Structures are given as structure tokens and as C-alpha cells.
Structure 1
Amino acid sequence: MKFGICNETFQDWPLARGFEYAKNAGYAGVEIAPFTMANSAYDITPQQREETRRAAEDAGVTVIGLHWLLAKTEGFYLTTPDDEVRNRTSDYFAELARLCRDLGGTIMVLGSPQQRNLLPGVTEAEAMKYAANCLRRAMPTLEECGITLALEPLGPAEGDFLLTAEKGLELREMIDSPNCQLHLDVKAMSSESKPIPQIIRDSVPHIAHFHANDANKLGPGMGDIDFHPIFAALKEVNYDGWVSVEVFNYEPGLEALVDGSLKYMKSCLGQ
């Protein structure tokens, strides 16, 4: 397992400064939210892409990939019956794949509940078909760029579509591409009736990426969730990918969130 952290944790810091802090704290990788570079991936210039990639290389960290893919964008929707909007969304995912490749990343985590929640009159089954149609259209570009799309189930606090890992696996099967897999998030899994270690076991071999956080929106070890059985399950299934810290509450301060999360995760692994 490799430890990473999401770059919005550093809030308004320049990307290069965040890369350096993450490296010094002991993280091997950083995951980038595109909105921290520009509101649209189309507006991120080739020069910005090259400078960001070089800054990560200079700091000695890997750009893991992208998450918060549709945050702060307009005009995109995954589960709409509107063909034009879905096609426009597919094209944007293709551009995100090119951005991810240009930054040196290999993974795109698809959460973005506000652009996938069920619209009035659209059933869950219909939404699954629309989402599969939208993403399937973008997959040739992801495959060409060497990018894996990691579908992220989210809990009911975030939305009403793709609420379980089982649903994520179902959508993955509908898309039917080796470059479309599953992302697991501890906060999201904590809302399921199934124990988190069992979700991990049942999701093999399709786990492409993993987010570590607590149900209270803080980092691992900062709430009620015990990560020891979670990491034991990841070791049991031989997961060797990234475990990225993703928090939503920054009140404890940067040092506590960044340094404390990593220290706790390593303790769970006996490091």
C-alpha cells in the first residue's frame, strides 16, 4: 500500500508548496482536485500542466490522479435523459483523462454526487443506463491515455444514486472496460449495512483506489471508526494501490490532519 493525500487539504496553498509538505510529512503521492487549478479542465493550459507535473517531480511525490471531477463545473450531468448533456459530459471526462495523463496521474475518482443524483421522473434503473452510456462513450480516451476510472459509491448524506459498493460493481459491469473499476471510501462505506472489511473482500479484484477518512469528515483515527480491521482486510486481499487521505473538515489544522492521519494509518499497519 502507498499513502497519498488529496491536495485540497492544503486549501489555498500553491500546488508546489502542498507537494513539498506532503513529501516531508511522509506521503508518497498527492491526488489533485481539478478545481484547485481552474474551474474547468479546458482552461488548464499545457504550460500549467507541465509546471504542475514538474513541481510534483521536483518534490519527489507522485501525482496519483484526479478526484472531485465535476466540482465547480457547469452543464454536465451523468444520469440525465438529455443526450446532448450526456455527450457533453462524456467529452469532458475525455478531457479530464488527458489532463490526468498530462499531470502524470493514472486514476480518476468519480464521485460528484451533485451531477449524478436522480432527476425527477428518472428511476434508478434508468439512471444506471444513462450513466453507463455516458461513461462508456468516454472510455476509449481513458484507455488510450492509460487512465483508470474509479467509480465512487457515496452514502445517502451525499446523494441518492450509487449508494453501495455493489451498485458500483454493477455499473462497472455495464460499462465493461478494463479501465473502469471501483473506488472505496471509508466514510461512504460506513453508511452501508455490511461491515467495511466485508465490503473490501466482496469488491476484489476491482478495487482501483481507496480513500481513508472518518464518518465525521475528519482524517482516519480522528473519529469512531477503527481502521485496524480495515487495513487488515486490505492486507488480506493483497491490495497494493493507493490509500489517500480525504477530509472535509479542516478545523483541526493542517498539521493535525496531514501528520496525524499518516501516523495513525501506519500504526494500524504496525509501522
Structure 2
Amino acid sequence: MRRLGVSNLAWSPESEARAFALLAGHAVDGVEVAPTRIAPWDDLTPARLAAFRDGCTASGLSVSSLQAVFFGKPEATLLADQAGFDAMCAHMHVLAKIAETLGAGVAVFGAPRSRLKGDLSNDDAMALAAERLSVLGDIAATGGLVLGMEPVPPVYGADFLNRYRDIIAIVEMTGHPNIRAHLDTGCVTLGGDRPADAIREAAPLLAHYHMAEAQLGSFASPGFDHASAGRALDEIGYDRWVVIEMKQGEGDGLADVETAIAYARTHYFGAAT
């Protein structure tokens, strides 16, 4: 059954308890975690992570997934020199442990600056990425984690894997069960494509989905075609997470969260016609 989650980017860390209560009151299923919204990387001890997980559980929530997984880690790179990739592998071991502790099944790999191809041709970048993603997939598997590869458009600073067909191609080239596709309404649209088309074509590979607007804006006046995206998810029988991804709005952000939940229910959970 399809489940609804909300990213913890959407509220202030200080309002976490109120956010959990709001989500529970609206029958939201889970929370997507940007780890450094809990604590800096070095302070994400097993005890701190377990406390967060237990807070979710007490509110009837689970941890759906991880995002912003390379935030603050500029040394970790997919396509640069071996030292950069070694740093990425080391951090992936950390992420696998975080995921295992929290119970998260997917980590969204957006991180445009962590996957810049620079002077590499696209063919060379694809070949190197497939080789290295296979290594990352092995590491992710140790924590029961799937890496969801996200298309990121140039407007967000990306120069590689910008469109959904690029993601389909790299997932198929890699051929690893822990490397799958992730789609985001905002990223797909800003890349020049229709989310409904992306969903249908990526269906066999799709592990995760973000309901998002440009620049992670609110859903007070959405500009993207979420209705057709929701219908396409219905058509393919999508039964995984749909996560609301948006940045914290005015104040503690909770009013915007409530608006977004209502919008998600309308367009992604059966109320749309």
C-alpha cells in the first residue's frame, strides 16, 4: 500500500515534537530524514539516532528514507579522483549504519555537486558511474539500504544525470539491486520532462517518489502537474513511499506542512479524478 511521508526539512528542529503530533493527527505514515537536521554528522551517535527513531515510533511514524545524504561532505565525490570516491565509500558505510538504526529503506542520491562529471565525456562518466555505483550498492546493502538515483536539472547545479531517461540508463547499466530510480515532481519538470511520462517509463525501476515544487517551495500555490503524476502512480500500481519534500516555511513551518498533506491526499492518494 502506498504510504505518505514528509521530509524533516519542512519544520524547524525545535518543533520536532509538534511536527510528529501533526503528522500523526493527519494519519501520515512516516518521516524522511535529512540526517544533519537531527545533529551534525559527528554527533549522530547510535543513541541519538535511536532516540529519534523512538520518537517517531511513539507517534506511530516510521522513517521512510534518507535525503541530503552528502550534505556537508564536499570531499565525497562519485566521478572525481580515487580519493574522492574513497571518501564517498567511507561515508556510505556511515549512511548504511544510520539507515539500519533508523529503519530507512531508501537514500535519495541527489547531491549534484557530489556527482559532477567535469571534463569527462558523458559516455565515460556513465561507465565510471556504473562501476562505482555498484560498489556503493554493495555498501548500502549492508544496512538494508537502496540508493535512489535522482535526476537533477542544471538549474540546481548538476551536469550529469539531469533527466529521467539518464537515470533509467544508469540504473540499467549498473545492474545492482540496491541501485534504483527515484523521481521528484520538481526535478523532472525543471529538467524539461513530464512527471507522468517519467513514472510510466521508470516503473520497473522506481523505488521512491518525491512530491516537490521548484526550490522546495510550499504547496500554497503549486505550479507543477501533480494530478497527472498521481494518476500515473496509480496506473503502474506504485505501492511505495510518496514523500512531501519542501523546505521550512514561515515560522516553524507546520502550517505549510498541513497544507501540503492535504494537497498530497488529493493528488496522490485516490481523491483526484
Distance 2:11 2:223 in 1: 24
Distance 1:253 1:53 in 2: 21
1:62-101 paired onto structure 2 within 5 Å: 62-80=62-80, 82-101=81-100
1:127–1:15 CA distance, 2 compared to 1 (3 A): farther
1:74–1:229 CA distance, 2 compared to 1 (3 A): closer
Aligned to 2:212: 213
Q: What's the secondary structure of 2:135's corresponding residue?
A: helix
Distance 1:197 1:219 in 2: 21
Q: What's the secondary structure of 1:47's corresponding residue?
A: helix
1:1-271 paired onto structure 2 within 5 Å: 1-13=2-14, 15-40=16-41, 43-80=43-80, 82-119=81-118, 121-158=119-156, 159-215=158-214, 217-220=216-219, 222-248=221-247, 250-251=249-250, 254-268=253-267, 269-270=270-271
1:247–1:83 CA distance, 2 compared to 1 (3 A): same
| TM-score normalised to structure 2 length | 0.90
1:216–1:138 CA distance, 2 compared to 1 (3 A): closer
* Higher alpha-carbon deviation: 180-189 or 216-225: 216-225
Distance 1:29 1:92 in 2: 24
Q: What's the secondary structure of 2:127's corresponding residue?
A: helix
Q: Which has the higher contact order (CA 8 A, sep 6+)?
A: 2
CA distances 1:151-177 after superposition (whole Å, capped 9, x unpaired): 011112112211111111111122221
Q: Is the 8 A contact 1:213 1:246 kept in 2?
A: yes
Q: Is the 8 A contact 1:79 1:86 kept in 2?
A: yes
Amino acid at match of 1:199: A
Q: What's the secondary structure of 2:55's corresponding residue?
A: helix
Count of equivalent residues = 268
Q: Is the 8 A contact 2:66 2:107 kept in 1?
A: yes
Name the Cα RMSD after superposition. 2.1
The alpha carbon displacement at 1:50 in A equals 1.4
Amino acid at match of 1:67: Q
Distance 1:47 1:105 in 2: 16
| TM-score normalised to structure 1 length | 0.91
Amino acid at match of 1:183: H
Q: Is the 8 A contact 2:9 2:247 kept in 1?
A: no
Distance 2:16 2:73 in 1: 20
Q: What's the secondary structure of 2:13's corresponding residue?
A: coil
Q: Is the 8 A contact 2:152 2:191 kept in 1?
A: no
Q: Is the 8 A contact 1:107 1:150 kept in 2?
A: yes
Q: What's the secondary structure of 2:260's corresponding residue?
A: helix
Amino acid at match of 1:89: M
Q: Is the 8 A contact 2:10 2:248 kept in 1?
A: no
Q: What's the secondary structure of 1:240's corresponding residue?
A: coil
Runs of 4+ in 1 over 6 A off after TM superposition: none
Distance 1:106 1:217 in 2: 22
Amino acid at match of 2:130: A
Which consecutive residues of structure 2, in runs of 5 or more, have no partner in the other structure? none
Distance 2:143 2:167 in 1: 23
Amino acid at match of 1:190: T
Amino acid at match of 1:243: V
Q: What's the secondary structure of 1:205's corresponding residue?
A: helix
Amino acid at match of 1:151: M
Amino acid at match of 1:49: L
1:252–1:234 CA distance, 2 compared to 1 (3 A): farther
Distance 1:125 1:11 in 2: 42
Distance 2:86 2:175 in 1: 18
